[in-house]
Structure 1
Amino acid sequence: MKGINATVSVLACLMGLSGCVMSDPDGFVFGFRVVEGQVEVFLPMCPDDRLESIRAADASGERVELFTAAHPTAIQAGNGNLIIHDTRGWAPEGFEDRQVFNPAAGIPRLLSVRYRHTDGEASGDVADMDKVTAAALEPDQYWTDKGPMTAEQISRQFHCNKPTS
């Protein structure tokens, strides 16, 4: 079954239907959590990666864009942990350019998040926010579709965090 999923993922990448990184046809999992009404996302990044842009959408039905943000401040550029929704609504902080399409929109059932590095590599993930909200997480954990993971475990998905032989 993994081979079929990998084939579909590669075809989706080639057709431009997903924001995945070609070096991993199964894609990378992102971390999601809801803490005191704030939606946090952890993006898998290598230490030398720099975030260029992020976008979020409601993927519960017909895709509805929630926001796009680009040109992060120096602190955000290398930080994979972002608060993207709070009491003000969809308002990602730490970016020079932000476009919020519907700031008052609630948290969707399916939240799609995509990001791009300055080197052009991109990835995306979708979270079932009912599962995220219901998850019993430790303070340093995020919900992923592979189970609870820490930021370090999420970032280990990249080759930069694996020993070379």
Structure 2
Amino acid sequence: MRRREVPPMPALGAGELRQNAVRRREHTVVVTALSVSAVVVVLLTVGFWAFFVHTFSDPGSPALVGIRIDGDAVTVKSGQCPQDRVRRVEVWDGGRERLVWRGDRPLAEEGRRGLLSLWDGKAYRASSPAGPPSELPATLDVTVDHDPAYGVSEVFDIAEVRRAVVPPGSYWTHEGVRTAEQIDGILDCGNSSSP
């Protein structure tokens, strides 16, 4: 078989060279735009996913924290959804930002459900220091961490709490005296149910 010779291509003119350069630029712009769009779509998808995971894992409204003082006994009630459990409670001297006491993993079910006796080391897997402070600070900053990974915090003026008339089974809050059920009822827990 005999090879047929292909005649050489004629040289491109300036107009044709310009057109080819424009087409290459257009192609580059289209590919870049598609790549950037794909990255933006991925970032938006990840952002929406993170937003919805956060929204559905945290209560829809801020939790309320109550406190009662009976002599040397200090009890805190932290509002929480039925499926949540207390992981840790920390008590800080609100005026000096110094840790006064900490209790990890309450042992009793009522503690895990947010009814927390402060200074009672036997009620927790671990606590430090072992007992109550010699004198309560003027303000207590109480932080309660819950599973799954959210927490509530409140600063209490001890003189104001001591002046309040708090009936048995109730707690002083910044919104007035409330029962444990009222404190838990403030949260918007969606359709959660007890475990």
Give the TM-score of the pair, scaled to structure 2: 0.61
The alpha-carbon deviation at position 102 of structure 1 amounts to 7.6
Specify the alignment match of 2:97 in structure 1: 63
Specify the alignment match of 2:107 in structure 1: 73
Q: Could you tell me how far apart the structure 2 residues matched to 1:111 and 1:101 are?
A: 18
Amino acid at match of 2:98: V
SS of 2:79's equivalent in the other structure is coil
- Say how many residue pairs are matched: 135
More strand by share: 1
Kindly provide the CA deviation profile for residues 97-122 of structure 1, in whole angstroms up to 9, marking residues without a partner as x. Answer: 21228843311111111011121111
Specify the alignment match of 1:4 in structure 2: none
Does the aligned pair in 1 maintain the 2:65–2:152 contact within 8 Å? no
Specify the alignment match of 2:116 in structure 1: 82
Amino acid at match of 1:150: T
Amino acid at match of 2:104: A
Mind listing any 5+ residue stretches in structure 1 that lack a counterpart? 1-20, 85-89
Mind listing any 5+ residue stretches in structure 2 that lack a counterpart? 1-57
Give the TM-score of the pair, scaled to structure 1: 0.71
Q: Could you tell me how far apart the structure 2 residues matched to 1:42 and 1:115 are?
A: 10
Specify the alignment match of 1:31 in structure 2: 66
Does the aligned pair in 2 maintain the 1:155–1:161 contact within 8 Å? no
Does the aligned pair in 2 maintain the 1:51–1:76 contact within 8 Å? no
Report the aligned-residue RMSD. Answer: 2.5
Q: Could you tell me how far apart the structure 1 residues matched to 2:131 and 2:166 are?
A: 29
Q: Could you tell me how far apart the structure 2 residues matched to 1:94 and 1:79 are?
A: 13
Q: Map residues 49-60 of structure 1 onto 2, 5 A cutoff.
A: 49-59=84-94
The alpha-carbon deviation at position 124 of structure 1 amounts to 0.5
Structure 1, 121-130 or 73-82: larger mean CA deviation: 73-82
More helix by share: 2
Specify the alignment match of 1:152 in structure 2: 181
Q: Could you tell me how far apart the structure 2 residues matched to 1:128 and 1:162 are?
A: 35
